[in-house]
Amino acid sequence: MKIRRCAILFVEPREEVSFDLDGLLTGGDGLRRRQRWLALAPHLGHEVEVDDAERELLGALSPSLWVAATAQAEAIDTIECLIGKGLVISDRARDHEARERDEQLRSTYWHPLGAAFNAFTRWSGIDAVQSMKENGIETAVSMREVLGAPPGEALRHPQAGDRVALPRVAPTDFDDLLARRATCRNFDATRPLPQALFAQLMQRVFAAQAEVRVTDDTVFLKKNVPSGGGLHPMECYLIVQHVEGIAPGLYHYQAREHALDPLPGPGRPLRGFVQEMVAQQHWFADAHVVVVLSPRFDRTFWKYRSHAKGYRVVALEAGHLSQTLYLAATDAGLGAFITGAINEVELEQAFGLDPIRQGAMAICGFGWRGAVMEMTELDPAGRVWDRDRD
Ligand SMILES: Cc1cc2nc3c(=O)[nH]c(=O)nc-3n(C[C@H](O)[C@H](O)[C@H](O)COP(=O)(O)O)c2cc1C
């Protein structure tokens, strides 16, 4: 049997703190502390505890050179444990699963830190609303009480010289559009979205507008948003809830053809599915259209191989698409939102994504705003909501 270490691995010394009544009664601080070594190997997608002997062996093994396991005969038990945990890769037939995941990771050209960050910041089953309640940070006022004051809202650089005032320019229609943009947290599920409006937004924000064909297998799309390397890695999966003429369900948007490919449904009511995907933020659950921004890491990393900026470039794309969606929606008289609080693992399962090659970065959505503001929106200048209405 030949072995080598998995391609990417970080080992974290983690302290776990729990309440200890006995410790408190015997004069201690009431906290029990436990130190553990955790292996963070992105090809596995979950943390694995290792002991001192396993950690030392992992540090000694090459991730590139295959060696005979017999060369480490005295450590064969430790090697078997590490193979079982998927951290040491073997050429044995029965260990194929970890080997294939490791190969997948190698061939996607992740930067090690980007791979670990992406793999170990994914959520599953998180209820962000409940956790805000438990931490007492549901409102701006309670946040101030619990967290203290934030760093100031504006910064003056300590080395700044005499200030240069800039002229205020008379607003145009574009300024008016910008001023009417506000994150929508109140959707009117009873008012269907006309198909033409839905199609217009998809065309403006997500569609390919032109293409550059270098060779038949190397094509760059032109879209209305910038993209690192012009590669446009962001796929767009839709959960359509209330659009005229389009059956509610899951879809994959084809940017070049400006068309929808229907996908298998989640096997339960869409509203609850959406709410779970946005970590129980019920204020987004009635959005007429929900957009999962799903980057194909392998496309961007084809150019930015093991590149320190690769992951940032992909993450930035979500912001460009989101702002363009907000403005297109505002222009159409609709509301839009983005959230980073998403349960990636459930999204991967629902849309059949392999997180090494393709993930879920954020969720956006759009639709008709409701008549009543039940959930707070940030509109201090009253550009969206009539402040005198109630
Ligand atoms: C990356 C990103 C993530 C966000 N995540 C959430 C979220 O999880 N829940 C939410 O209600 N709003 C979310 N928002 C919206 C912000 O709360 C909102 O932009 C901010 O309060 C300013 O309000 P405005 O967009 O109306 O100007 C997010 C915005 C951005 C850019």
Q: What is the pLDDT of residues 207-217, one digit of tens each?
A: 999 999 999 99
Q: What pLDDT is attached to residue 312? A: 97
Q: What pLDDT is attached to residue 74? A: 86
CA-CA distances (angstroms) from residue 96 to 41, 57, 157, 354? 16, 21, 56, 17
Are both 313 and 235 inside the same structural domain? yes
**158 lies in some domain:** no
Q: What pLDDT is attached to residue 388? A: 61
Q: What is the mean pLDDT of residues 306-320?
A: 97
CATH number for position 206? 3.40.109.10
More confident residue, 164 or 25: 164
Are both 90 and 215 inside the same structural domain? no
pLDDT tens digits, residue range 86-115? 999 999 999 999 999 999 999 999 999 999
**173 lies in some domain:** no
Residue nearest atom 17 in ligand 1 by C-alpha distance: 183
Q: Which domain holds residue 80?
A: 2-108
Q: Per DSSP, which regions of the chain are E strands?
A: 2-5, 10-19, 31-40, 48-50, 67-68, 88-90, 210-215, 218-222, 234-240, 249-254, 259-263, 289-295, 335-339, 362-367
**Chain centroid to CA 144: how far?**
27
Question: Quick one: CA torsion of 285, 291, 295, 299, rounded to 10 degrees?
Answer: 160
Q: What is the mean pLDDT of residues 5-15?
A: 97
Ligand 1 atom closest to 379 (CA): 26
79 and 3 in contact (C-beta within 8 Å)? yes
Are both 220 and 362 inside the same structural domain? yes
What does the block give as tokens for 114?
Answer: 């980007």
| 323 burial level (CB within 10 Å; 0-12, 13-18, 19+) | middle
Identity of the residue numbered 62? S
**374 lies in some domain:** no
What does the block give as tokens for 112?
Answer: 């090690």
Would you say the CB of residue 340 lies under 6 angstroms from ligand 1?
yes
Q: Which residues of 164-192 are buried (b: 16+ CB within 10 A; e: fewer)?
A: eeeeeeeeeeeeeeeebbbbbbbbbeeeb
Are both 69 and 204 inside the same structural domain? no
Identity of the residue numbered 81? C
Are both 83 and 224 inside the same structural domain? no
DSSP category for residue 187: B
pLDDT tens digits, residue range 220-269? 999 999 999 999 999 999 999 999 999 999 999 999 999 999 999 999 99
| Residue among 127, 183, 280 whose CB has most ligand 1 atoms within 8 A, to mutate | 183
Number of domains in the chain: 2
Distance, in Å, from the CA atom of 362 to the CA atom of 367, rounded to the nearest integer, reads 17
What is the distance in A from the centroid of ligand 1 to the CA of 220?
31
Phi, psi of 333 (to 5 degrees): 80, 15
Are both 219 and 320 inside the same structural domain? yes
**116 lies in some domain:** no
Residue nearest atom 26 in ligand 1 by C-alpha distance: 182
Starting from the edge strand earliest in sequence, which strands make up the sheet with 48-50, in order?
Answer: 10-19, 31-40, 48-50
**31 lies in some domain:** yes
Q: Which residues of 346-385 are buried (b: 16+ CB within 10 A; e: fewer)?
A: bbbebbebebbbbbbbbbbbbbbbbeebeeebebeeeebe
What does the block give as tokens for 78?
Answer: 């430790």
**Residue 228: half-sphere exposure toward Cβ, Cα within 13 Å:** 23
Query: Residue 87's closest CA among 65, 118, 117, 57?
Result: 57
Ligand 1 atom closest to 322 (CA): 31
Q: What pLDDT is attached to residue 386? A: 83
- Tell whether the torsion through CA atoms of 12, 15, 119 and 366 is positive or negative: negative
CA-CA distances (angstroms) from residue 88 to 36, 192, 206, 310? 19, 54, 42, 27
CA-CA distances (angstroms) from residue 33 to 11, 14, 26, 28, 36? 19, 10, 16, 12, 10
Are both 220 and 101 inside the same structural domain? no
What is the distance in A from the centroid of ligand 1 to the CA of 268?
28
Token pair 């290792």: residue: 50
Are both 102 and 185 inside the same structural domain? no
- Tell me the average pLDDT of the chain: 96
**382 lies in some domain:** no
Phi, psi of 137 (to 5 degrees): -125, 45
**85 lies in some domain:** yes
